[in-house]
Structure 1
Amino acid sequence: MSHNPKFLNLVLLNGDPEYKLRTARAAGFEQVEIWWEDVQSSTHGAIGLAKFAKQQKLGFTNLQVLRDFTGAQDSDRLYKRAELHQFIHIAYKLGCNTIQAPASTREDCLAERIDEDLCWMASEAARYNMRIMYEPMAWCSVDNTLPRAWERLQRIQQPNIGLVIDLFHICALGGDASQLERIPAEKIYAVQLCDVATLPPPEKHTLMDIARHHRLLPGYGILDIECFIDTLKRINYKGPIGIEVFNDVLKSQCSEIVAQQAWQALNRYWP
């Protein structure tokens, strides 16, 4: 039996936040990745969601997603820092200790500020015993691959910043499971599994369209998921592993059935 917490990203399901939490737990998931938008749409707020999740014996893997924080221009920098504090306060109310913050996607990103911004972010999060989960997305303007993101985290040496492993973003630019081998398992904060019918060309709008609308459940596409799983086991990964699938068709279907399909897909690869 695996001791890794198994999670579902709520983006796969339709319905109000409480319904999605209840549905994920009924399918078997121990945790969920919850979105800022889920919290905002709840009539009970973050504290009410935390209470409901506790009743369901359901944890929060992370709070998503703080966009384009690093390298912000002067005109946006104070706003982004205030936004970080909003995320911290919501995560604190949820009882969630991790905030997902992808690398910048902005073309006007000031790359020379990224290290400083990440260190400031880590310092602010540490005041609340929280972690930052840095994500290299395929269409990021800087740090769009796992090796580049890991190189940066090695340089800044912040104990509460780690990586998220998203199979789509690794494979979309030609990466593979070997990229995990040099990363200490404790610096991987979550693993998000998915699949795709075909790998898109490395063009921003195409990548974004497939990533946000057409991902598949693991085992329904062409990705070599077994190789990633074997590597994670070889490096003794003990953190959360789950399903992050953006799919418009699945999202329109019965959430109970889709959640059960997601649970079955996850357990085929990580029983």
Structure 2
Amino acid sequence: MRNPTFLNLVLLSGDAAQKLRTASAAGFEQVEIWREDAGQNTAALAQLAGEIGLGFTNLQVLRDATGVPTAQREAKREEARMFFQLAKQLGCDTVQAPASTDKQCVAENIDDDLRWLSAEAARHNLRLMYEPMAWSQIDYTLPQAWQRLQRLNLPNVGLVVDLFHICARGGSVSDLAGIPMHRIYEVQLCDVAEPVSPQEMERLFDTARHRRQLPGEGYLPIAEFVDYLKSAGYAGPVGIEVFNDHLKQLSAEAAAQRAFQALRRAWPED
């Protein structure tokens, strides 16, 4: 089984067009693109991606779009509408909307917000990725997020498997048990040099945003996740999401090549 490969553009220096060309030249078939990159010149980026045969795994990040306090709900929904329009202009069919990290998150509003996001995304033929993050206020583990999606049964809303966030919360490959593979929209691989936990939130943030490692360069049990996903028949995109200040100081070409080599080692082609 051959899974599409992607790179999160956060790893690369340069402007958006340079990042697309560099990722493609390194061997990646898709990229995760940020709103900040996509909004620079959406039409030109869409055209360039088509010319070089590069796909968009997702557009990110629609932040804190679930559990929105009632007084802020309409403003957040207008932001979501604009986000979905940007995704369509880019030619991207999936939007990332993690579980809320807002301290004002209203638990009772999460279901309604997810239903609304699902319906609005469907109007644009888009999918929504709901990602549990280690610092989300609610649904901060994969089993919690899956329980909610399973209950709501929204056909265009799926999960992100991000090894950093799973392991930072003390999770393991057992967190994947019972999740149908078609409900996982992508797998993000990375590594860390030493354990982190929510009990040291400042250190966890620093590691997450500045010191993640390429897979195979740290202690995470990457092979266990890869073996499980492959044996279970996961057929979606798999790629690298690494925030690392040192790697970003390298040339974009060097960083992208190192990332692709690490991905191939961690997730070899069958």
2:205 maps to what in 1?
A: 208
| Amino acid paired to 1:11 | V
Measured after TM superposition, the shift of residue 114 of structure 1 is 0.2
CA distance in 1, matches of 2:266, 2:70: 45
TM norm structure 1: 0.97
After superposition, give the CA deviation of every residue in 1:79-108 in whole Å (9 maximum; x if it has no partner).
110111111101001110000000011121
After superposition, give the CA deviation of every residue in 1:148-170 in whole Å (9 maximum; x if it has no partner).
00000011100000000000000
**How big is the alpha-carbon RMSD for the aligned residues of Structure 1 and Structure 2?**
0.9
CA distance in 2, matches of 1:122, 1:10: 26
User: Which of 72, 79, 90 is 2:75 aligned to?
Assistant: 79
2:264 maps to what in 1?
A: 267
Residues 1:183 and 2:179 aligned together: yes
SS in 2 for 1:78: helix
TM norm structure 2: 0.97
Work out the number of aligned pairs and report it: 267
Measured after TM superposition, the shift of residue 206 of structure 1 is 2.1
1:80-159 to structure 2, matched below 5 A, reads: 80-159=76-155
| Amino acid paired to 1:204 | M
1:16 maps to what in 2?
A: 15
Q: Indicate conservation of the 8 Å contact 2:38/2:90, yes or no.
A: no
CA distance in 2, matches of 1:20, 1:237: 28
After superposition, give the CA deviation of every residue in 1:12-45 in whole Å (9 maximum; x if it has no partner).
00000000000000000000000000022x2xx2
Measured after TM superposition, the shift of residue 144 of structure 1 is 0.5
Residues 1:233 and 2:230 aligned together: yes
Unaligned runs of 5+ in 1: none
SS in 2 for 1:102: coil
Identity percentage of aligned residues? 59
Measured after TM superposition, the shift of residue 74 of structure 1 is 2.3
CA distance in 1, matches of 2:120, 2:213: 36
After superposition, give the CA deviation of every residue in 1:208-235 in whole Å (9 maximum; x if it has no partner).
2111111000000001100000010121
Unaligned runs of 5+ in 2: none
Q: Indicate conservation of the 8 Å contact 1:14/1:255, yes or no.
A: yes
| Amino acid paired to 1:67 | R
| Structure 1 segments (4+ residues) deviating >3 Å | none
After superposition, give the CA deviation of every residue in 1:216-255 in whole Å (9 maximum; x if it has no partner).
0000000110000001012100000000000011111111
SS in 2 for 1:209: helix
